[in-house]
């Protein structure tokens, strides 16, 4: 009895080992390997069509950015801390990319369209880098684009009617030239890391 049991165990171990070896050596494709080409697989669709107004007052859609990579950040100009920091990162990325900067459009989308008018947006983005495009729009247009990017932006209701704060997503989305999400950078990602990723996609 014991002998049969021991043989069975040995056989199972052997089968397991063989399978492992075959997967490792690549004879049997593993489930993980096939998804390695996409950086984020199984993630919900991020990006897509939108209709907004740029910082020069011109109506734009995602088609205006086709063929270029996009660095997308959601924020608001009344934000004196995090948003200027991220815009500074964008500015440095664009400067350091040199000629490759031609392939990238940095985009700042407001989550506070009520206060971020075209003029306010224009002044704000111009303070950082001439290439940064500021996008605003109607409440509905902003709600739509936030949905498209799974971005969050919520006004903090309080006693302050004029100088209210807005909680917002702190990620930066890197969209490929095909308009598909290439990767998401968390807040605090260095310019060098962003540049490296952008160059990989050139």
Binding site for other proteins (CB under 8 A): 77-82, 84-85, 87-88, 91-92, 95-96, 115, 119-120, 123-124, 126-128, 152, 156, 160, 162-163, 165, 167-171, 186-188
- Let me know: does 63 contact 150? Beta carbons within 8 Å: no
- Let me know: does 46 contact 150? Beta carbons within 8 Å: yes
Type and span of the H or E element at 139: helix 139-148
Nearer to other proteins, 65 or 72 (CB): 72
Nearer to other proteins, 32 or 162 (CB): 162
CB of residue 20 vs other proteins: minimum separation in angstroms?
Answer: 37
CB of residue 73 vs other proteins: minimum separation in angstroms?
Answer: 11
Nearer to other proteins, 23 or 82 (CB): 82
CA nearest neighbour of 201 among 39, 18, 31: 39
Nearer to other proteins, 2 or 186 (CB): 186
CB of residue 186 vs other proteins: minimum separation in angstroms?
Answer: 7
Nearer to other proteins, 26 or 130 (CB): 130
CA nearest neighbour of 148 among 104, 118, 112, 179: 179
d(C-alpha 183, C-alpha 19), whole Å? 33
CB of residue 26 vs other proteins: minimum separation in angstroms?
Answer: 36
Cα 145 from chain centre: 13
CB of residue 126 vs other proteins: minimum separation in angstroms?
Answer: 8
CA nearest neighbour of 133 among 100, 171, 106: 106
CA nearest neighbour of 148 among 115, 176, 173, 121: 173
Nearer to other proteins, 65 or 74 (CB): 74
CB of residue 131 vs other proteins: minimum separation in angstroms?
Answer: 14
CA nearest neighbour of 164 among 72, 89, 76: 76
């Amino acid at each position: 009895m014991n002998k049969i049991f021991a043989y069975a165990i040995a056989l199972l171990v052997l089968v397991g080992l063989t399978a492992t070896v075959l997967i490792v050596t690549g004879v049997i494709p593993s489930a993980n390997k096939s998804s390695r080409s996409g950086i984020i697989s199984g993630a919900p669709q991020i990006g897509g069509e939108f209709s907004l107004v740029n910082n020069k007052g011109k109506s734009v859609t995602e088609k205006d950015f086709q063929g270029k990579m996009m660095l997308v950040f959601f924020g608001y100009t009344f934000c004196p801390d995090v948003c200027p920091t991220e815009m500074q990162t964008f500015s440095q990325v664009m400067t350091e990319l040199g000629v490759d900067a031609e392939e990238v459009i940095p985009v700042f989308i407001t989550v506070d369209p009520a206060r971020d008018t075209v003029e306010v947006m224009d002044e704000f983005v111009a303070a950082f880098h001439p290439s940064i495009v500021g996008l605003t729009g109607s409440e509905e247009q902003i709600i739509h684009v936030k949905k498209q990017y799974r971005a969050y932006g919520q006004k903090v209701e309080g006693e302050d009617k004029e100088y209210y704060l807005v909680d917002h997503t702190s990620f930066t989305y890197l969209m490929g030239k095909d308009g598909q999400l290439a990767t998401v950078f968390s807040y605090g990602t260095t310019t060098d890391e962003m540049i490296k990723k952008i160059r990989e996609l050139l």
